[in-house]
Amino acid sequence: MITPTIAAMDTTLIEQLVYMASAFFFVTGLKKLTKVKTARAGNRMASIAMLVAVLMTVYLVAFKGQFHGDSVEAIKASIPWMVGGLVVGGLIGIFLAKKVEMTEMPELVAFFNGMGGASSLFVALATVVAFGSGAVSIGSEQTLSAFKGGDISLSIGLSILIGSVTLTGSLVAYAKLSGKMWKNRFGPVGTPGLNILLAVAAIGLVVFGGFLATGAMSTTAFLILTAVALFLGVGLVVPIGGADMPVVISLLNSYSGIAAAMTGFILQNNLLIVAGMLVGAAGLILTQIMCKAMNRSLSNVLFAKFGEDDGEKGDTEYKGVTSTSAEELAPLLEAASKVIIVPGYGLAVAQAQHKCRELGDLLEATGIDVSYGIHPVAGRMPGHMNVLLAEADVAYEKLFDLDQINGEFKNAEIVIVIGANDVCNPEAYDNPASPIAGMPVLDVWDAQTVIVIKRSLSAGYAGIKNPLFERDNCLMFFGDAKQALEDMVTEFKDL
């Protein structure tokens, strides 16, 4: 009978050094991602580290018999699966890299988070099934008693729990971001039915933890945990509004890393532990940054409904709005000496990043100082606007975050807001009862003239009115962002 082993067998010094090198490149790549100029190099470095790690794992399985004992038959049987996985996964990666537009990147990130959780979940479940059949040994002496006694059952349980929540939560986030989920399908977060189910699931997890502590676990118990955790992932993300999706994506990214680390403990693979904890820690830090940018706590993001009913408020709420056109704006731009562009999700929807850069280059060619103000939660994922503008080859030095740019608006003759709404809403300062009260926003109204490019006066994710549109120094340019920018470029050239 073939007896697979879960623990990593003794490896040579070279193998350990390869894993250490991969871990080093992961850490270095992550460090480089903290700076815009070195981000691409950091991404490449981390990708190479992952390739090396995968190839080493294939080598250990195919030539060292790791995870399969000394069975030649098992080793031969595993090779087609590994080769097939490498080929299929590589082709899918190439396809997605070529096909997915930058505007769809948030959905892709959410999907990838879910796949990371699914990987950890399936490895843990495979381990449970193997243990349940009594066919798995740990190391060279420990047997099924290691599972029954809880030696690795904690890692298995956490891998299943976090992996399941990440999988279903990420799929819900993907559905919300891509518009495939019905709004309010499950009601607001205060709906008694959903809260009761979530409470029951939470109690079930506590009971499971008690059994886990005693070591009285079974295959059935882990399968029940899987079902409860899968439901929990759906229930936790469904009530969260669209405005909080950047925070949710970064949190789910952290979950996927933690789940991977737990899987590393199951497989006793140090590299997987290191990589998983790096992703987990980075995701938590980014989540904290996002929460700070919105002046909200994580608990408030997770358990307070915010911004699900976006776009439902009509134009009738506004009075004294001044609309404009490209013909009227061209002379204003020509007379300006400093222009700040504030991109939002409308820029992404219209795929107008290239036209935005074209306008910026045209203004700069006439001696106008042009810069870009980026709010941390503009768009639908962390860094969404930075990625879009980078794709259009906007110089990194021209991008400024909220803290850097806010003091400059008063020195600008013109601010062009492209598809942004809540991140430049003065209600954050003026209305203590507003859902965004206290949230740091871009003080665009301090400029002499604010030009807002927007399809209509509909509300943003927060579902609230934006008094900026009624201010005397605000001009509304209604229309598709890409077409509006193209018209502005044409009219400016004609001058």
Tens-digit pLDDT profile for residues 370-409: 999 999 888 777 788 888 898 888 988 899 988 899 999 9
Contact 287, 247 (CB under 8 A): yes
pLDDT of residue 209: 66
How high does pLDDT run on average in the chain? 81
| CB neighbours of residue 307 within 10 Å | 20
In sequence order, what DSSP letters do the residues of 152-209 get, joined into one string?
THHHHHHHHHHHHHHHHHHHHHHHHHTT-S-TTTT--TT-HHHHHHHHHHHHHHHHHH
- pLDDT, mean of residues 84-94: 89
Longest distance between any two alpha carbons in the chain, whole Å: 84
- Give the phi and the psi of residue 145 in degrees, each rounded to 5: -60, -25
Report pLDDT for 71. 60
Q: 10 pLDDT exceeds 70?
A: no
Alpha helices, DSSP H, located in 65-104: 72-99
- Per-residue model confidence (pLDDT) at position 304: 61
Kindly report the number of other CB atoms within 10 A of residue 458's CB atom. 14
Beta bridge partners of 373: 400
Alpha carbons 157 and 163: distance in angstroms, whole number: 10
Of 122, 117, 46, the C-alpha closest to 274 is: 46
Q: How many residues does the chain have?
A: 495
**20 pLDDT more than 70:** yes
Ordered domains of the chain (ranges, CATH): 1-99 (no CATH), 104-305 (no CATH), 315-494 (3.40.50.1220)
pLDDT of residue 60: 77
Global pTM reads: 0.76
Is the pLDDT at 140 greater than 50? The verdict is no
Tell me which amino acid residue 474 is. C
For a pLDDT cut of 90, what percent of the chain falls above it?
32
Is residue 312 within 8 Å of residue 286, measured between CB atoms? Answer: no
- The per-residue pLDDT for range 298-340, each reduced to its tens digit, is 877 776 655 544 444 444 478 889 999 999 999 999 999 999 9
Closest-CA residue to 484 (of 458, 456, 455): 455
Look at residue 478 in the predicted model and tell me its pLDDT: 94
Residue 445: pLDDT band (50, 70, 90) is very high
The pLDDT, as a whole number, for residue 357 is 95
Q: Is the dihedral of CA 273, 276, 278, 283 positive or negative?
A: negative
| Site of tokens 């579902």 | 463
**Which residue do the tokens 């060279």 mark?**
140
More confident residue, 295 or 184: 295
The answer, yes or no, to whether residue 222 has pLDDT greater than 70, is yes
Regarding predicted confidence, which is higher, 85 or 343? 343
- Angle at 109 (CA atoms; ends 273, 30), nearest 5 degrees: 45
* pLDDT reported for residue 380: 74
* Residue from 422, 443, 480, 487 carrying the catalytic annotation: 422
Q: Which residues does 369 contact at the CB level (< 8 Å), separation at least 6?
A: 337, 338, 339
> Residue 137: pLDDT above 70?
no
Whole-number percent of the chain with pLDDT over 70? 81
Question: Over 60: is that where the pLDDT of 250 sits?
Answer: yes
pLDDT tens for each residue of 161-170: 999 999 999 9
Does 494 qualify as catalytic in the annotation? no
Residue 440 has pLDDT above 80, yes or no: yes
171-175, 323-327, 360-364: segment of lowest average pLDDT: 171-175
Q: Which of 191-200, 323-332, 416-425 has the lowest mean pLDDT?
A: 191-200
**477 Cβ contact partners less than 8 Å away, ≥ 6 residues apart:** 323, 324, 325, 326, 329, 451, 452, 453, 454, 484
| pLDDT attached to residue 311 | 41
